Structure 1
Amino acid sequence: MELRHIRYFLAVAEERNVTRAAERLGIGQPPLSQQIHALEDELGVRLFRRTGHGVVLTEAGEAFAVDAKRLMNDARLAVEKAQSAGRGEIGQLNIGFTGSAAFNPVVSKLIRSYRQAYPNVTLTLTEGNTAQLLAHLDAGRVDVAFVRLGSQSPAGVQIHHIAIEPMKIVLPATHKLGKKRKVPLAALADDPFVLLPREASPTLHDVIIGACREAGFEPIAGQQAPQLSSVVNLVAAEFGVSLVPASVCQIQVDGVAYTDALGSAITIRLALASRIDATAAKTANFLDIARQVVTSSA
């Protein structure tokens, strides 16, 4: 039994006339009659009783019509669902993000815009450092990831620009320079720096080390932090000082002070990473929204 047999059956049942049903279906009357007879033979029951004005359903035909309508409706819904999934309008999108990315206004605007455009796609969020997120991306555990990267793209990864952020100095509130609006980075040469391990976030680590060297000193390595958000808490606990993306300043923790670095601008790039071989429409849609949001925010 094929879906077309059910469609033919329902057309005849609704029209109560084989000729009109054939016209509606766009086929000849003899082939339609043959298909109905073949269906009846397959089922082993008569579905229609012939009358002088056409046909009417038998008791077996009425029983079959109930489930036949449901089957056709299920088939229509299955087609619509497949087409929606093919357009990326349903399903699940897995997004990875570094601890600081969530604070960037472009990121929140992007996710908000995507949810408005594709409300039937479920979003799952995974936080991690850049190394963890790139591993998740490679393993297919996330579809896209907001990461801190330099100018080089890891193998198999496509990078999409999101924002260039200035870096801010974060000091313990008790630090002698904690009330200054701008601080020369060289003034922190004798302070230990709270850093993420380079293997966890090589770009952030290198930006901080490079800025210190540019200022004429080699930073003293202090306590390591597992996540960027932990840096602020460790600074508040007076483990040392650090540099963080400006968006992290939204983390208001007692015992810390944020200030600008005097001199050359220190910046870091926020990017959206996806697999080069990604083919899912939901991922493509997210990247399209990202391009639109970044352009409008420029």
Structure 2
Amino acid sequence: MRYFAATAEAGHITRAAERLNMQQPPLSRQIKALERELGVQLFRRKARGVELTDAGHTLLQASRDILPRVQRAIEATQRTAQGEQGQVRIGAAPTAPFNSFVPRVIRAFREAFPRVTLTIEESLSHDLFQRLRDDQIDVAFYRSAPADGAGLKLDSLLTEPMIMAVPIGNPLVKSARRSKLSLRDFADETFIVYGRRLGPGLYDATVAACHDAGFSPRLGQEAPRIVSTLNLVAAGLGVAMVPASLQHMKVDGVRYCPLSGPVQPKALLALASRRGDPSASVRQFLKLVVRMAAASSRPRF
């Protein structure tokens, strides 16, 4: 059809062939093949060129709509194959987006691949891995590794310090004897934990850190999400160990305390995806995340 349109606009097969950077005989054969396929005559041959028949005029009019659409389809197909167009469905554990790395890498990807549609949803780690396996999301920022990683690609991105969320009225906070508290100082406190069954990473990190500090934590009320955990802290029902990036969440009645001493618990931030995912857009996202994580020698929280 491109050959036909070029010939119709030139009004001459030889001139059309020159514009198309091809020889005249192959162009003539293409025009004749198109006429045979359609079963109509498109051109009337004249001594000094060709002119369109009525059927040819109809096809030329249609080609001006069809050819740009075909070109756009070709370009879209090529962009999709290169990962420049498509969709990436992102899952995130509740505390993951508070780490500045997550919004930073998503923003960088949007700038690099503006034609790729991004969707983001929050779930606890257990649900994230299940949704990943069920092809409901493409990648997942998580805190705790799955018990079974079969079929998944797991990339550790960075770690950040854990700190204590403490009620404002807690005597430890009021004490002016030291600027920082060690984890051992909280041995007599009640610890509020969250996501124990469906996202146990931070719960396990809390218990392990307390054991390293020489005591078993006294566990209080269990909260399903980090927001409810901080609300329970604000109500004076206990303390909670949280990733340092949670300091961005300002809650009345809660003070965040960095930890000193030999026990310095860390919170993991990692990315999960399906092994061998065929989506080029997903592969581009993974490459960008891993590259930016490697370049983050000093993560900002």
Equivalent position of 2:86 in the other structure: 91
Q: What are the superposed Cα offsets for residues 69-113 of structure 1, whole Å, 9 maximum, x if unpaired?
A: 322222111110000111111122111111221111222221111
Unaligned runs of 5+ in 1: 1-5
Aligned to 2:272: 273
SS in 2 for 1:65: helix
- The number of equivalent residue pairs is 292
Q: Which of 42, 51, 70 matches 1:47?
A: 42
Structure 2: segments with no counterpart, 5+ residues:
none
Residues 174-253 of structure 1 aligned to structure 2 (within 5 Å): 174-180=169-175, 181-253=179-251
Return the TM-score normalized by structure 1: 0.90
Alignment match, 2:60: 65
User: For residues 25 and 7 of structure 1, do their structure 2 counterparts lie closer, same or farther at Cα, with a shift above 3 Å needed?
Assistant: farther
Among 19, 22, 29, the residue aligned to 1:26: 22
Partner of residue 287, structure 2: 288
Output the CA distance in 1 between the equivalents of 2:182 and 2:90. Answer: 37
Q: CA deviation at 1:34?
A: 4.5
- Deviating more after overlay: 278-287 vs 242-251: 278-287
Give, in whole Å, the separation in 2 of the partners of 1:199 and 1:27: 72
Once the two structures are superposed, residues 40-70 of structure 1 have per-residue CA deviations (whole angstroms, 9 ceiling, x without a partner) of 3444443212222011112221121011232
TM-score by length of 2: 0.89
Identify which of 142, 160, 166 aligns with 1:165.
160
Describe the superposition over 1:116-167 as per-residue Cα deviations: whole angstroms up to 9, x where unpaired.
Answer: 1011111111111111111111111111111013598722221222221100
| RMSD of aligned residue pairs (Cα, Å) | 2.1
Determine helix, strand or coil for the equivalent of 2:83: coil
- The answer on 1:108 being equivalent to 2:108 is no
Aligned 8 A contact 2:129 2:146 in 1: no
Whole-Å separation in 1 of the counterparts to 2:267 and 2:146: 10
Check if 1:149 corresponds to 2:144: yes
For 1:170 and 1:257, locate their aligned partners in 2 and report how far apart those are by CA, in whole Å: 6
Tell me, what secondary structure is at the counterpart of 2:171?
Answer: coil
Alignment partner of 1:135 is 2:135: no
Where 2:258 maps in the other structure, the secondary structure is: strand
**Alpha-carbon deviation of 1:222?**
1.3
C-alpha distance 274-164 of structure 1, shift in aligned 2 (>3 A)? same
C-alpha deviation, 1:11, in angstroms: 2.6
Which deviates further from its counterpart, 135-144 or 42-51?
42-51
Shift of 1:197: 3.7
Aligned AA (1:165): E
Q: Which moved more, 1:8-17 or 1:136-145?
A: 8-17
Residues 185, 212 of structure 1: 8 Å contact kept: yes
Rate the CA distance shift 1:150–1:144 in 2: closer, same or farther, 3 A. Answer: closer
How far is 1:277 from its partner?
2.2
